[in-house]
Amino acid sequence: MNPREYPTQPVCGVGVVCLRDDKVLLVKRAKAPITWQWSIPGGGQELGETTRTAALRELQEETGVDAELIGLIDVIDTIREDDSGRIQYHYTLVDFVAVWTSGEPVADDDVSDARWVPLSEIEKYDLWFETIRVIRKAVKIRGEIDS
């Protein structure tokens, strides 16, 4: 059983919308709770770690890519119940926008694939609707910073 299943309190997770020109970095998850689904890089915050540090660490660990965080996109609460109504997963997700600085994507143990995807093609991937929303918001934030 996944140690994050049936928690006694919410788990804080981080995500990174990493942008490089007209592309976004996506990963295909290899572990629960969203096994084999495409997502943005991210994972759990560790004790004593800021959310920003956690985001950059997870990005590097999962993909080998380094980036500069340029803003907070959103904070999303995701709660999943099992068939009996018990809370199976409860995550508070803190999503950041970042711009690529170095490295090429290489999948680690937590992901089965990591790749740059043209922003015009994200609808072709099986992404959670919230993931599509935060990617679009990240692009808008980057545009506001660039202008």
Between CA 7 and CA 96 the distance in angstroms is 25
Token pair for residue 120? 């015009």
- For the segment 79-86, the average pLDDT, to the nearest whole number, is 95
Q: Which residue bears the tokens 């049936």?
A: 6
Q: What is the pLDDT of residue 1?
A: 63
What does the pLDDT look like over 13-65, one tens digit per residue? Answer: 999 999 999 999 999 988 766 677 899 999 999 999 999 999 999 999 999 99
pLDDT of residue 146: 77
| CA dihedral sign, ordered 19, 23, 29, 30 | negative
Sort 12 into a burial class: Cβ within 10 Å, 0-12 / 13-18 / 19+: middle
Q: Is 83 helix (H, G, I), strand (E, B) or coil?
A: coil
Instruction: Give the single-character DSSP code of 122.
Output: G
Region 62-77: what's the mean pLDDT?
97
* Complete domains list, the chain, with CATH: 11-146 (3.90.79.10)
Is residue 23 within 8 Å of residue 16, measured between CB atoms?
A: no
d(CA 26, CA 59): 10
Residue at token pair 């600085």 = 101
What is this structure's pTM? 0.90
CA 29, chain centre distance (Å):
10
Higher confidence at residue 108 or residue 124? Answer: 124
